[in-house]
Amino acid sequence: MGLADEVLAGNLRALARLATHIENDDEIGRAGLNKLYPHTENAHLVGITGPPGAGKSTLINALIGELRGRQQRVAVVAVDPTSPLSGGATLGDRIRMLERQSDPGVFIRSMASRGRSGGLAPATAGMVHLLDAAGFDVVVVETVGVGQEEIDVARLVETVVLLQMPASGDGVQLLKAGLLEFADVYAVNKADLPGAEETLRGLRTMVGSSARQHRGWAPPVLRCVATSGDGVRELAEAIGAHFDYLQGDQRRDERRRAIAEAEIAYRVNQAVLQRLGATIRRTERDLVEAVAGRRLTAFEAADRLLAHWGDSGCPGNQSR
């Protein structure tokens, strides 16, 4: 029995091993995903994002408890900053959620962002598919916490939760946060601290005046205190309500198509960059030297490289 078959049979050790192969993007990982992919599209995919210090990990820990109380199996993909020495994750969100590790209905995996902008790791999509196929009811993706640039998560999940905290900045700063255009649920954590009501009012004003309220879904703005559990039940209910909303009028199908389109585009971009890098290393060192020596501009070198690559079999030129 292969790893994929063991995952489908509920073997958590096989799940952890296959997760490592997927994170390494090796042949075993890709083969496993190919076999598991037809068994996906069952889990509710939830992204939780927000600035550093907003309490994402603490909130997820509390949210796991709430969802487990509803008999839902929960998996978490926690994306951490990359260690400059080891290349691994540095924050170790699993340590903060250690109390959940003995629960067979919970699976938590930390992944290093490996320098990728956008708040996610390169293998996050594959990890989500793996956990979906493994039979988890809810798969939560926690972003690295880079602030205003974490919009990649909106292209990977069905429900985006944007977490803020008191003193997150004035209205101008909130308007700059691109996620205000993508989030489906808004929450202000640490709502027992000074400034919480002001932050809540600011978010409600901006969300209410934006174009987000359409087709029957008005994104809620909630308050919570993850450390005490205050507001966690309401947040879980809002996440569930958005999942119910997606079931109607083919909205979930639309979201899934958008996710598939984004994943294909990412994979194509990665393949192109890898092939282009190999071409540079193999045949175009003279162009690098010419640009470094100021005999060519980077624009001219790029044009020559692309022309050469196209003649050699660039995607879209296979008929040549």
The tens digit of pLDDT for each residue in 195-237 reads 999 999 988 888 877 655 556 788 999 999 999 999 999 999 9
Residue 84's pLDDT is 40
Nearest to residue 225, comparing CAs of 39, 113, 23, 62?
A: 62
Query: Do residues 170 and 302 share a domain?
Result: no
SS3 label, residue 89: strand
| Structural domain contains residue 197 | yes
Give the global pTM: 0.82
pLDDT at 123 over 80: yes
Q: How far is CA 87 from the centre of its chain?
A: 19
Structure tokens at 45: 């995919």
d(CA 253, CA 202): 32
DSSP conformation class of 79 = E
Structural domains counted in the chain: 3
Query: Do residues 22 and 58 share a domain?
Result: no
Which residues constitute the domain of residue 281? 260-313
Query: Could you write out the three-class secondary structure of 55-97?
Result: CHHHHHHHHHHHHHHCCCCEEEEEEECECCCCCCECCCHHHHC
**Cα-Cα end-to-end distance for the chain:** 44
Residue 92, domain CATH = 3.40.50.300
pLDDT at 313 over 70: no
| Structural domain contains residue 319 | no
